[in-house]
């Protein structure tokens, strides 16, 4: 069994609802086992610039319901260099920290993996990202809240789409992962979703038209996963206007709206479970692993698997959407 006197916790990358619940869980689980906790502000940047404070049980009171992260988050070019990571390690040791808990997405866990390898620091990751794109966990912290935000927004967009008999392309986050777009489309009753996992953007748009998905409807909503390679909803809508001018097309980009808001009960629960499990993992001498949940059970996923393996999207969900979007 591992023994630790002091650990650090930070949030990095894009904020996600439930991060505060995770910070609370890590802090209180550690304190309950006699471990001191240091809060590192602004992610890896705070580790480089020495923005570090003690966290106590009271420090994390009344935050479980809050969106965002009380520890803030920021990009840090310095941490991407060996010199910057050396400064971060020196600051960590000066504060007596013997291990790190990193809450974030694949970029954050990649940074933790490199830091752990260079300085032999035990690091535990928590999957905090609305994209749900980390391998080895059924869901990530923030995904459920973002999905519910998308559904709520589309319910409102549908009102105006129906009133004006328009075709709306709604762009949602996810980078190159289609979990939010596909499941958001199913949950909101949208007619279709254009996602990067299947075929190409051209194939999917042409397929929509060939299926005649508006024959029995006076309005339609199509969710589009953001994607640099495919241009997102703006590119899709432009193609639609040029190639199918008979459609009255509108675009709605939900953007950072999806990251905000009070986390759902589901996100609060998994963040709490994962945060407590991070301390258990350290005490079990685990290192360089992400805490995941599979079939409602806590699992330890090596960083290399969580980051490098592509999380598959269930193809049967796409078939469900096709059948129900007629």
Q: Domain locations in the chain?
A: 6-142+263-308, 144-259
Q: What confidence score (pLDDT) does residue 72 get?
A: 97
Q: What confidence score (pLDDT) does residue 125 get?
A: 98
Q: What confidence score (pLDDT) does residue 200 get?
A: 53
Residue 275 CB coordination number (10 Å): 28
Say which CATH topology domain 6-142+263-308 has. Answer: Rossmann fold (3.40.50)
**pLDDT over 70 (residue 205):** no
Give the pLDDT band of residue 196 (cuts 50, 70, 90): confident
Q: Which run of H or of E encompasses 6?
A: strand 6-11
Q: What confidence score (pLDDT) does residue 212 get?
A: 59
**pLDDT over 90 (residue 66):** yes
Q: What confidence score (pLDDT) does residue 217 get?
A: 56
3-state secondary structure of 54: strand
CB < 8 Å & 24+ apart, contacts of 205-211: 205/236, 205/239, 205/240, 209/244, 211/322, 211/326
Query: Average model confidence (pLDDT) for the chain?
Result: 92
Separation of first and last alpha carbons in the chain? 57
Phi, psi of 140, deg, nearest 5: -115, 160
Mean pLDDT, range 152-165, rounded to an integer? 87
Phi, psi of 308, deg, nearest 5: -90, -25
Give the pLDDT band of residue 183 (cuts 50, 70, 90): very high
The tokens describing 273, both together, are 């479970």
Q: Which run of H or of E encompasses 169?
A: strand 167-172
Give the pLDDT band of residue 55 (cuts 50, 70, 90): very high
- Residue listed under structure tokens 């940047």: 45
Give the pLDDT band of residue 77 (cuts 50, 70, 90): very high
Q: What confidence score (pLDDT) does residue 229 get?
A: 66
**pLDDT over 90 (residue 247):** no
Mean pLDDT, range 262-272, rounded to an integer? 98
**pLDDT over 70 (residue 322):** yes
Share of the chain above pLDDT 90, in %: 75
Lowest mean pLDDT among 40-54, 105-119, 183-197, 233-247: 233-247
Question: d(Cα 286, Cα 282) in Å, to the nearest integer?
Answer: 5
Q: What is the pLDDT of residues 211-221, one digit of tens each?
A: 655 555 557 89
Residue among 15, 106, 131, 133 flagged as catalytic: 131
**pLDDT over 70 (residue 20):** yes
Share of the chain above pLDDT 70, in %: 92
> Of the candidates 56, 77, 64, 65, which has an alpha carbon nearest to the alpha carbon of residue 9?
56
> Of the candidates 73, 78, 72, which has an alpha carbon nearest to the alpha carbon of residue 115?
78
Q: What confidence score (pLDDT) does residue 192 get?
A: 87
Q: Is residue 15 annotated as a catalytic residue, yes or no?
A: no
Question: d(Cα 313, Cα 174) in Å, to the nearest integer?
Answer: 12
Mean pLDDT, range 196-214, rounded to an integer? 64
CATH of domain 144-259: 3.40.50.460
Do 6-142+263-308 and 144-259 agree at the fold level? yes
């Amino acid at each position: 069994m591992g023994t630790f006197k002091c650990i650090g916790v930070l949030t990095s990358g894009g904020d996600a609802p439930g991060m505060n619940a995770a910070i609370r869980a890590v802090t209180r689980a550690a304190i309950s086992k006699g471990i001191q906790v240091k809060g590192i502000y602004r992610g890896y940047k705070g580790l480089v610039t020495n923005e570090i404070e003690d966290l106590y049980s009271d420090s994390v009171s009344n935050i479980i319901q809050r969106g965002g992260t009380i520890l803030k988050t920021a990009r840090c070019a310095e941490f991407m260099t060996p010199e910057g990571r050396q400064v971060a390690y020196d600051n960590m040791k000066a504060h007596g920290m013997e291990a790190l808990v990193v809450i974030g997405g694949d970029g954050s866990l990649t940074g933790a993996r490199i830091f752990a390898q260079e300085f032999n620091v035990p690091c535990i990751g928590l999957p905090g990202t609305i994209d749900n794109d980390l391998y080895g966990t059924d869901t990530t912290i923030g995904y459920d809240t973002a999905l519910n935000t998308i559904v709520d927004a589309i319910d409102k967009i549908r009102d105006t789409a129906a009133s004006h008999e328009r075709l709306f392309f709604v762009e949602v986050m996810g980078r190159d992962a289609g979990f939010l777009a596909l499941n958001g489309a199913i949950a909101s009753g949208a007619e279709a979703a254009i996602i990067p996992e299947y075929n190409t953007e051209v194939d999917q748009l042409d397929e929509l038209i060939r299926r005649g998905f508006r024959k029995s409807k006076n309005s339609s909503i199509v969710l589009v996963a953001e994607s640099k390679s495919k241009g997102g909803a703006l590119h899709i809508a432009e193609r639609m206007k040029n190639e199918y001018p008979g459609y009255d097309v509108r675009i709605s980009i939900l953007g950072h709206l999806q990251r905000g808001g009070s986390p759902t009960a589901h996100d609060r629960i998994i963040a709490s479970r994962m945060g407590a499990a991070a301390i258990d993992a350290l005490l079990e001498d685990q290192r360089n692993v992400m805490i995941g949940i599979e079939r409602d059970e806590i699992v330890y996923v090596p960083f290399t698997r969580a980051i490098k393996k592509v999380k598959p999207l269930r193809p049967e969900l796409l078939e469900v959407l096709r059948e129900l979007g007629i």
